[in-house]
Structure 1
Amino acid sequence: MKEVRFIWALIIAMANLGKNGISALWNFGDQCWRTAWSWIPGGSSGGATPQPLDLPSQEVFEVDRSFAEGQRRATDLMANENAARQIKIYASAKPDDRYAIDLSRLEPAQQEWLTRLSMDEKAMRTLSETYESKIGMLLAGHDNAVEGIEAPKMKKAKESIPGLVSRMDDFRLKLATREGNHVLAA
């Protein structure tokens, strides 16, 4: 009987040892499986908690929005500024920064005049301190509008066919009077 008890105890010990081994093997396999799935984009590791996003507060967002709106309005204003203001900004800039200033409102002859004038820093200082209205008069061709600076010489555009504009105006006037005399039938 002692032998049966001993064999029975040995079988129970082996069963307990096997049970713990199978459980350990199962846990090891499960952990490997979860780790492998966590490496795949969009996979879930099961126990990972999502990290909170670091989003700006509503106040910071509103300040950024108003700043961007102000920049957009300033850009629109600068895009619509007149030629006199562009000349004043150009004259006020440092000599190295002048190449970056937009002169799109100026005629090509006026741009050439301003580039020639930019060699004279005294003239640039005078233009930067002059009222925009006087610069506008200078651009219109008034030589004495700004003291010491000659107005740009503008080339007159010659008509391709002499009298074409006046003949077109006469035609439009005749057409307008003719349209009033006719009744269209439906």
Structure 2
Amino acid sequence: MVRHGESPKLEGNERTRGLTEKGILDAHRVTEILETEGIDTFISSPYKRAMLTIEKSANYHEKEIVVYENLKECRFLSEDKIISDKEVYPLVKKMFSNPDFTLTGGESYVDCQRRVVKILKEILMDFQGHKIVVGTHGLVMTLMMNYFDNQYGLEFLMNTSKPDVYKLEFKDEQLINVERLWREE
């Protein structure tokens, strides 16, 4: 799992936001981290920032990025509306304490987790035995990991970085190991 790098919240919309200068530099570090992992498949959210974070690594491994629409970030408001970090963190806390809570036009914790776990299970079946990179988002990554092990909750999410890299090992549909590969400089 590769959480996307730092992304400006000033331009575009949720789907088209790219990476900041720091995000671009960090994407190079993601590539370095994944160089020796022998990656077979690169999969990403359709959001530009997630794809850009793993793009150099995919190029290094001479692989295409397969985009899965349902790996997109949780819809906090209407599809394209950008929500600031100042607004999103209290909202996410509320979602963790009340999993059915949603703003008008948004998606609840329960609905988002159902959507992303369904697609992750499909990926695990379709690419069984493969080493896969999933370019994703903080909340989506946390909800997927939380489904398999509830120690990955709000506190875990709040302590992740942008970007962040976690190596998850599955046996069938059981999560058997998690290792953080990202290290702050």
Alignment TM class, shorter chain as reference: under 0.3
Larger radius of gyration: 1
TM-score where L is the length of structure 1 = 0.23
How high is the TM-score relative to the length of structure 2? 0.23
Normalized per residue, which structure has more helix? 1
Higher relative contact order (CA 8 A, sep 6+): 2
From the two aligned structures, give the one with the greater strand fraction. Answer: 2
